[in-house]
Amino acid sequence: MSLRLGDIAPDFEANTTQGPIKFHEWLGDSWGLLFSHPADFTPVCTTELGKTALLKGEFEKRNVKVLAVSVDDLDSHNRWIPDINEVNDTEVNFPIIADEGRQVAQLYDMIHPNASEKATVRSVFVIGPDKKIKLTLTYPASTGRNFNEILRVVDSLQLTANYSVATPADWKDGEDVIVVPAVSTEDAQKKFTKGLNIVKPYLRYTPQPNK
């Protein structure tokens, strides 16, 4: 069965390019980004893992630990990393799981047989400090992910976890947010002291409360 939002992210033990890990223990009190790539030494994946490395500081600012996975073995990962570094002018600074036994791929339903019986699709899981799945995304092998969009979603998840707000279409950190319907307008006026912009009784904007 596919994992759903709010489910506990399955725990596992795995070998990675930075040594063995126990997933929940490794995650600790951080947020987590677990993402799969179809295979080593492939062009799109080379750009994706490089982009992730280049965004290290952005992930650290958000207390997000990054973990990649594919069904290739550790030797293959270690031979491929110099290519990623060279092509993207960076250093891979996060662990890559060697999942040749497909343990993680099966736990997280990363192999979609109608797309490929062997390779993982481009799955993305954002996991909260409570170990619950907060976001899932699935891309085909031919389409590289937008990691700036993933950071935007993390910003929204972290904001909305702590305040009674939601984020509108195309929202970016620092822009106005929406007061959730569960908060009455009377209570919202007390709670959100920066002011309300009432467009409709159910659509009320307020400046981002943590800025």
For the record, the structure tokens of 60 come out as 């650290």
- Cβ-contact 33, 59 below 8 angstroms: yes
Helical packing angle, 43-54 and 147-162, nearest 10°? 50
Q: Which of 165, 199, 207 is nearest to 183 (CA)?
A: 165
As a whole number of angstroms, the distance between CA 49 and CA 88 comes to: 9
Rounded to an integer, what distance in angstroms lies between the CA atom of residue 208 and that of residue 178?
9
Determine which helix (DSSP H) or strand (DSSP E) holds 23, and give its type and residue range: helix 23-27
Instruction: State the catalytic residue, choosing from 45, 71, 150, 178.
Output: 45
Q: Is the dihedral of CA 177, 165, 28, 122 positive or negative?
A: negative
User: Residue 154: which of 3, 2, 24, 30 has the closest Cα?
Assistant: 30
Is 163 a residue of the active site? no
Which residues are CB-neighbours of 190 under 8 A, at least 6 positions away? Answer: none
The catalytic residues are 45
